[in-house]
Amino acid sequence: MSDKKKHELSRRTILKTGVAAGLVFATPTILTRNAWASEFTNDPGSSKSVVLGFNVPQTGAYSEEGADELRAYKLAVEHLNGGGDGGLMNTMKPMSLKGNGILGKKVEYVTGDTQTKSPAARASAKRMIEKDGALMITGGSSSGVAIAVQGLCNEAKVMFMAGLTHSNDTTGKDKKRYGFRHFFNAYMSGQALAPILEKEFGNSRRAYHLTADYSWGWTQEESIKNATEKLGWSTVAPVRTPLTQTDFSSYITQAINSDADVLVLNHYGKNMNDSLKAAVSFDLRNKIAKTGKQWEVVVPLFSRKMAQGSGDDIKGILGSTNWNWSLPDAATKAFVKSFADKYGFPPSMAAHTCYVQTLLYADACERAGTFNPAGVIPALEGHKFDNMGNGPTEYRAEDHQCFKDVLVVRGNPNPSTQFDLLKVEQVVPRSQVEYEASMFGGELGPI
Amino acid sequence: MEAILIQILNGLDKGAAYALIALGLTLAFGTLGIVNFAHGVLFMLGAFCAVSVNKILTISHKIKDESVTLFDAYKEIPYLEIWWGDTGTMIIDYSVPISIIFTIPTMILIGIAMERGLIRFFYKRTHAEQILVTFGLAIVVQEVIKHFFGANPIPMSAPEIVSGSAPVGALFGLSDSMVYPWWRLIYSLFSVIVIGGVFAFLQYTTYGMVVRAGMADRDTVGLLGINIQRRFTIVFALAAVVAGLAGAMYTPIVGPDYHMGMELLVLSFVVVVVGGMGSLPGAVAAGFLLGILESFASMNEVKQIIPGIDQIIIYLVAVVILLVRPRGLMGRKGVMED
Amino acid sequence: MNNKTTQKDLFLMLAFAAVIFAMPIWLEPIGASYPDLMQKFAIFGIFAIGFNILFGLTGYLSFGHAAFLGIGSYTAVWSFKLLTMNVIPGLIFGTLLAGVFALAIGFICLRRSGIYFSILTLAFAQMSYNLAYSVLTPITNGETALQLTLQDPRILDDAPLSGAGLPSTELFGVSMSGLPGFYFCAVVLIIAFYVSLKIFRSPFGLKLAAIKSNQNRMGYTGFNTRPYLLAAFVISGMYAGLAGTLMAVTDPLAGAERMQWTASGEVVLMTILGGLGTLIGPMIGAGLIKYFENIFSAFNENVLHEIFSFLPEILENLMVFIINPFVGKGWHLTLGALFMVIVIFLPGGIMEGLSRIAKWVRKDRSKPTGDDMGTAKSKPSPGEG
Amino acid sequence: MENVSNIVLNVTGVEKTFGGLQALSNINLQIEEGKTHAIIGPNGAGKSTLLNVCVGRLAPDSGTVMLGDETLTGKMPYEINQLGVARVFQTPEIFPELTLMENVLIPALAKRDGQFKFNPFKSLLGDKKIHDEAMSVLEDLGLQDQAQRNAASMSRGDKRRVELAMCLVQSPKLLLLDEPTAGMSRHDTNQTIEILQQIKKRGMTKVIIEHDMHVVFSLADHVSVLAQGAIIAEGTPEEIRGNPKVQEAYLGGAHL
């Protein structure tokens, strides 16, 4: 898996270190991290293969998303190595990949379990970097985890291609030179949803937010609040709910008894399933609010997986999503076909973003002609590409955020199949969701 | 006033779940002397009984959906609907209440298997070892369930007819906006019936008498020449059934996942301690009390005064109770009072 | 006799230090010689050794020690943020603060014994965890976890050059990540082990073991047991705090999850698995569980196919099919099952297993009590007083 | 009352009720230094309650218990032990997981260190003096060969000897023995009597609660008879043997 030469060298160092254990602290600089590494961390040198680290939640609340991400990664590896039908490698533009691995080296991978916990995710990523010699880490289905792992990779000078993470912070105040995000963010959700919310619910609504109490929830609450207040809405109360909450009835009853008339659920995954369930069981959606208007529910970020978890409750509810398998473009069709051929069902948006990220990394290596992040990072910064399911897309150099169209979706009232749960209401053009790179602060730092 | 009433109602269904789990825990502890960390798993298994029944009832005939060309998609029509039309639809609609019929025997079997297969070897071991082995068992069972049902919560719904909310506000002459989901009312009521059933069983059957005597003085009952082993098994099975029913009926309130039992277990232990280790009425009373207290603590008005109180109220109550009245609200004097 | 035991202890200490320092060598064949995992061995070893001073010696089962671990981590990260990236202040503050909390929580919890004590500690741990997740987010940064930022003041350090990345933890110039980080943890571990050995061999340690054996008798023998228990509780709390600070040293990030009761459960598992009340057992237990967690959870189908590729294909597939549920995402299943097996068949943990094997090997010259690895001569049974 | 200074234990007016039951009523007892005082009485007479009041396990409703000039009432068991009262239980209370040597070391440490001493870095093995102390007591009781044996593996009679050793190593001012031969074989009983007689020679003050008249009459200097919570007779063994009131209330006319 990893390079022989590096291994021998490292062993000798270790031996030396072991013997001279007592002297370790007297000999400061010689033995610091990666003393044996050549140009950059985990340089594959003349090895015939390279290792990528797929760090996804395999246990815990997001493990279904994690499983789907892993499927996508395996598919991507297969395609990179020239197997399968090639998937998006047939559509991607521009493309330098040749189907012979990356830079002629076979792609191998290691997997790890983030448990959706930052420390566990970092430990897993560390193992991939230190033990398995991974050149790039990717994955995650929680912004907390993504930010934590991104920080670690930045310190270790290893590429991090974020998976599902929607917080503004990932490419905002916590952005890092070595981290790249393809997924959209909370600000974009707010900007994309605002017009349609105005159209559907008018511009004098009163919103009641229930917010998952962590990085992502905070930024989404802020983004939606800002976007809707610009429409003329007012925000009654932003209420934070602990991530561990399962019964939201107390929160819902307080919302009903407030003078609000739109419930915004800044929840993801099981949290959202539970809070929506409580809202529906209190008949909120059939009620007239104290303002005299019909109660409405908005779930700014939702996915097909979440819709599946909510069953009938989700029908008719508006939200935004990064990508959906039912999109009509050729790239989407190619990806869905190749994924469904292999696994028997269509991919989730998490799977899509992870697959695309893997290909984008590989492509950037090809274009840079090296695995050295010093070359790969510039190759990704400002890179423009198309035909990967989201239309024309750009990796903005200033914050490593992808800019592309955003989908506004609605829970399908009449699903024809068990997968047909989201109806794409509108494809919001990139221009409408774009913002200044400096808006969320943060610093990329040096290479 | 309305806010207070609605918070009491809110606490009721959660309190009912606490009470049912705590009841079984206490039963096992009082008679068998077992501290069962796998009890939460029994609640979870009950919930998955309901899920399984629903899955069985909705076994579907698959028709290829020609409109989807990218992959093989199917339209699914449950066989029950094909065979029996509206009757079939109704049966599926009522799958949660129907699952009770299936849950009871299943939980009895699981209870017996657990007691005979594992717990009985631990009657003479320390509480610490009991905690540890049942903790291990809980992990194993959870993982097995996860293996078969996945990690995500499974949406379950109450029968259509009770899917809405009861206009409790209107009933009490208060604001119309005050409503409460029917199913949660049913759940609270159901738990009262189950609790009543357990108490009646203990009060009026010979088994029950032995169990109560056993809770009072375990050693003596053993000396009476009663087949204590079989009684123990039955008590454990009863505890399993109570937990299982609590779980099965809870599914429409919170979608079940493999981890749901553990979350409730820690709280239920605290409930048992507050009620008084070994006191059945104590467990029930403390369950409802803490459920309602928790609900009050999550009111925004309360949280503004004491931030974070909703997160710790139950534990705080437990700490205070243990320190000032170690035998709990209704525990007998001297029972593990040290 | 005395001299012999002292010599034995000296030998034990030296052997322990040698084994720990040589980890990078002898762990390589089993794929565990990378720094992060070895750091974990050392850190959780400290945690388990400290926990053993409470649970192993006195029999008081705490389900709340993860709270002290968390307190240690948070304190250390704050020290890195506010004071300096040098690990020493963080180490000291973290350990001391954990000790202060242990004193307060122990004072309350130790008013009860047995299962009541366990539930009180559980309640406190859950309160800490829930608070860390909610109202204390300004201190803990909640779910996102407390991390270093470029804007941190770090008043004792020189201002960083502009454009520089995040600083890393260091000990007088030596970066504490990678191998040096491991050696630092190893040195702390060896000191921690030495302290534990001293406690086991002291009158204080004997009294703790006597409390476990018969607390009632201790009262009539003239001992006020509560201060002894409190001292043991605080010591083990400080060990946990120390382990927590080392976690922050090797990875300057502190999340609330490490305070959850399941994390407390983990250290109980480690102690039991290795051998409750033995000196070296908890360290072995900690190592095994961390090894499983890191190595087993990383197995996937590909790796399994590789392992069994020497078999005929049908057998290979069968083996992969059988083993797959137990590794990767299913490693918790292995952990739970292993744990049950240990509690049921080998309540003394691996140390008991080893001594049984040793006894079996030299059964002809068996001695009545032959635990030379320094057990407190206590079967791990009568538990709580 | 000219020899007040010779009174080791002075129980005055102790009353204790459980619920409605009068367990002890107006108990007065003076136990002289160096004497072995037996308290006898039928089951439920209140013997154990009296003993528990003396060692601080139970608090009397009224009355006081004095050890020399020190008041024992209201003190914790460990404080009372530190004042010089050691106790042997009805069923041997030892440290089963520890060796005999350790069993005896612990009370020796209690005597030396007091109720709490934090010395986690002191080597116990290096402390020769306390080992010698413990060993000499073990030798007195003939247990020296088994010093490294686990206490749990001993016979009941031997456990009793261990418990006695644990008390003796503290050289208490007062030794309380709760039915020291209960449940023992004739052989073990005789052995115990022998040991107790040996201790007697050292001049240690003892209170024995006993059922077995054989034991009482071979050891006691003075006997108090307890019935229904009250002392109904006191005197030398001979006096008690001849007291018709005692025979009526307790012995039921059985042969002595």
Does residue B330 lie in a domain region? no
At residue D252 the predicted structure's pLDDT band, cuts being 50, 70 and 90, is low
Judgement on whether residues A299 and A347 belong to the same structural domain of the protein: no
The rounded percent of chain A whose pLDDT value lies above 90 is 49
Residue range A184-195: mean pLDDT, rounded: 93
Judgement on whether residues A221 and A283 belong to the same structural domain of the protein: yes
The model's pLDDT over A42-71, given as tens digits with 9 standing for 90+, comes to 888 888 999 999 999 887 667 778 889 999
**CA gap D112, D105 in Å, rounded:** 10
Given this model, what pLDDT does residue C42 score?
95
Residue B167, Cβ density class (10 Å: 0-12 exposed, 13-18 middle, ≥19 buried) = middle
The rounded percent of chain C whose pLDDT value lies above 90 is 36
Beta bridge partners of D207: D37, D176
**CA gap D243, D239 in Å, rounded:** 6
Residue range A272-292: mean pLDDT, rounded: 86
Residue D209 sits at φ, ψ, to 5 deg, of -100, 125
Residue from the list C120, C332, C383 with its beta carbon closest to the beta carbon of B322:
C120
pLDDT surpasses 60 at A5: no
Do the bridges between strand D62-67 and strand D222-227 make them parallel or antiparallel, or are there none, so unpaired? unpaired
B151: domain CATH number? 1.10.3470
Do the bridges between strand D21-32 and strand D7-18 make them parallel or antiparallel, or are there none, so unpaired? antiparallel
pLDDT surpasses 50 at A24: no
The model's pLDDT over A316-341, given as tens digits with 9 standing for 90+, comes to 999 999 999 889 899 999 999 999 98
The model's pLDDT over C104-156, given as tens digits with 9 standing for 90+, comes to 999 999 988 888 888 889 888 888 988 888 788 888 887 778 888 777 888 88
**CA gap C108, C110 in Å, rounded:** 6
The model's pLDDT over A418-431, given as tens digits with 9 standing for 90+, comes to 788 899 999 999 99
**CA gap D144, D160 in Å, rounded:** 15
The model's pLDDT over C18-42, given as tens digits with 9 standing for 90+, comes to 999 999 988 888 888 888 889 999 9
Number of structural domains (chain B) is 1
C-alpha A68: how far from its chain's center? 13
The model's pLDDT over D117-129, given as tens digits with 9 standing for 90+, comes to 888 888 888 788 8
Judgement on whether residues A299 and A344 belong to the same structural domain of the protein: no
Q: Compute CA distances A232 → A191, A218, C347, whole Å.
A: 14, 21, 67
Does residue A432 lie in a domain region? no
Does residue A412 lie in a domain region? no
| H or E element that contains A286 | none
Closest among D207, D149, D191, D169 to D27, alpha carbons compared: D207
The model's pLDDT over C220-274, given as tens digits with 9 standing for 90+, comes to 898 999 999 999 999 999 999 999 999 999 888 888 888 888 888 889 889 988 9
Judgement on whether residues A296 and A375 belong to the same structural domain of the protein: no
Residue D229 sits at φ, ψ, to 5 deg, of 80, 5
At residue A178 the predicted structure's pLDDT band, cuts being 50, 70 and 90, is very high
Instruction: Tell me if B71 and A336 make a contact (CB, 8 A cut-off).
Output: yes
Please tell me which residue of chain C has the smallest CA distance to B131: C115
Residue C174 sits at φ, ψ, to 5 deg, of -90, 120
pLDDT surpasses 90 at C282: yes
Please tell me which residue of chain A has the smallest CA distance to C142: A214
Q: Compute CA distances C18 → C25, C162, C189, C201, whole Å.
A: 11, 43, 12, 21
Given this model, what pLDDT does residue C49 score?
94
Judgement on whether residues A242 and A290 belong to the same structural domain of the protein: yes
Residues of chain B below pLDDT 50: 334-338
Judgement on whether residues A191 and A65 belong to the same structural domain of the protein: no
Instruction: Tell me if B128 and C383 make a contact (CB, 8 A cut-off).
Output: yes
The model's pLDDT over D174-186, given as tens digits with 9 standing for 90+, comes to 999 888 877 777 8
pLDDT surpasses 50 at A27: no
Using DSSP's 3-state secondary structure scheme, residue A329 falls into coil
Inspect the structure and tell me whether chains D and B have 3 or more CB pairs less than 8 Å apart: no
Q: Which domain holds residue A305?
A: 187-321
Q: Which of B265, B271, B277, B312 to mutate against chain C (most C CBs within 10 Å)?
A: B312
**CA gap C367, A186 in Å, rounded:** 70
Given this model, what pLDDT does residue C329 score?
67
Given this model, what pLDDT does residue B196 score?
94
Given this model, what pLDDT does residue C29 score?
84
Please tell me which residue of chain C has the smallest CA distance to A27: C174
Given this model, what pLDDT does residue A19 score?
39
Instruction: Tell me if A214 and C257 make a contact (CB, 8 A cut-off).
Output: no
Does residue A70 lie in a domain region? yes
Does residue B20 lie in a domain region? yes
Instruction: Tell me if A305 and B150 make a contact (CB, 8 A cut-off).
Output: no
Q: Compute CA distances B189 → A90, B16, B113, B192, B283, whole Å.
A: 61, 9, 30, 5, 17
DSSP state letters, B150-191: -SSPPP----GGGSSEE-HHHHTTS-TT--EEHHHHHHHHHH
A269: domain CATH number? 3.40.50.2300
The model's pLDDT over D140-182, given as tens digits with 9 standing for 90+, comes to 888 888 888 888 888 877 888 888 899 989 888 899 988 887 7
C77 close to C250: Cβ distance less than 8 angstroms = no
Contacts of C218 in chain D (CB under 8 A): 78, 106
At residue A16 the predicted structure's pLDDT band, cuts being 50, 70 and 90, is very low
Judgement on whether residues A316 and A244 belong to the same structural domain of the protein: yes
Does residue A40 lie in a domain region? no
Whether the CB of B152 is below 8 Å from some CB of chain C: the reply is: no
Domains for chain D: give ranges and CATH numbers: 1-84+172-256 (3.40.50.300), 96-170 (no CATH)
Given this model, what pLDDT does residue C365 score?
52
**CA gap A436, A446 in Å, rounded:** 21
Phi-psi region of B285 (alpha: psi -120 to 50; beta: other; left: phi over 0): alpha
Residue from the list C40, C143, C255 with its beta carbon closest to the beta carbon of A213:
C143
Beta bridge partners of B166: B180
A385 or C368: whose pLDDT is higher?
A: A385
The rounded percent of chain A whose pLDDT value lies above 70 is 91
Judgement on whether residues A57 and A176 belong to the same structural domain of the protein: yes
Residue range C159-168: mean pLDDT, rounded: 67
Given this model, what pLDDT does residue A17 score?
41
Given this model, what pLDDT does residue C162 score?
59
Given this model, what pLDDT does residue B1 score?
67
Given this model, what pLDDT does residue C251 score?
86
Number of structural domains (chain A) is 2
What angle is formed at CA B184 by the lines to CA B180 and CA B190, rounded to 5 degrees? Answer: 135
CA of C232 vs chain D CAs: smallest distance (Å): 10
Does residue B334 lie in a domain region? no
- pTM of the shown model: 0.86
Does residue B315 lie in a domain region? yes
Does residue B338 lie in a domain region? no
Inspect the structure and tell me whether chains C and D have 3 or more CB pairs less than 8 Å apart: yes
Helices (H), chain C: 2-21, 23-26, 35-58, 65-82, 87-109, 114-133, 137-140, 178-201, 203-213, 215-220, 225-250, 261-274, 281-291, 301-307, 313-323, 331-345, 349-361
Given this model, what pLDDT does residue C15 score?
92
Phi-psi region of A84 (alpha: psi -120 to 50; beta: other; left: phi over 0): left
B43 close to B261: Cβ distance less than 8 angstroms = yes
Judgement on whether residues A124 and A193 belong to the same structural domain of the protein: no
Min mean pLDDT across A3-12, A224-233, A345-354, D118-127 is at A3-12
Query: Alpha-carbon torsion C257, C260, C264, C269, what sign?
Result: negative
Given this model, what pLDDT does residue B219 score?
61
The model's pLDDT over A336-372, given as tens digits with 9 standing for 90+, comes to 999 998 988 899 999 999 999 999 999 999 999 999 9
pLDDT surpasses 50 at D253: no
C68 close to C240: Cβ distance less than 8 angstroms = yes
**CA gap B253, B243 in Å, rounded:** 16
Judgement on whether residues A218 and A295 belong to the same structural domain of the protein: yes
Mean pLDDT of chain A: 85
Does residue A1 lie in a domain region? no
Whether the CB of A253 is below 8 Å from some CB of chain B: the reply is: yes
**CA gap D55, D27 in Å, rounded:** 15
Work out how many CB contacts closer than 8 A connect C with D. Answer: 133
**CA gap D230, D225 in Å, rounded:** 8
| H or E element that contains D65 | strand D62-67
**CA gap C272, C264 in Å, rounded:** 13
pLDDT surpasses 80 at D85: yes
Does residue A369 lie in a domain region? yes
Q: Is the ipTM of this complex over 0.90?
A: no
pLDDT surpasses 50 at A18: no
D38 close to D235: Cβ distance less than 8 angstroms = no
Given this model, what pLDDT does residue C374 score?
40
Judgement on whether residues A250 and A334 belong to the same structural domain of the protein: no
Inspect the structure and tell me whether chains A and D have 3 or more CB pairs less than 8 Å apart: no
Q: Which domain holds residue B233?
A: 2-324
Contacts of D108 in chain C (CB under 8 A): none
B233 close to B277: Cβ distance less than 8 angstroms = no
Encoded tokens for C6: 């002292």
CA of A250 vs chain B CAs: smallest distance (Å): 6
Task: Choose one of A290, A321, A352: the last residue of a domain.
Answer: A321
Instruction: Tell me if A249 and B71 make a contact (CB, 8 A cut-off).
Output: no
Does residue B336 lie in a domain region? no
Encoded tokens for C250: 């090797």
The model's pLDDT over B121-150, given as tens digits with 9 standing for 90+, comes to 888 888 888 888 898 899 899 989 988 888
pLDDT surpasses 60 at C383: no
C68 close to C125: Cβ distance less than 8 angstroms = no
The model's pLDDT over D53-80, given as tens digits with 9 standing for 90+, comes to 888 888 888 888 888 888 888 888 888 8
**CA gap A181, A406 in Å, rounded:** 15
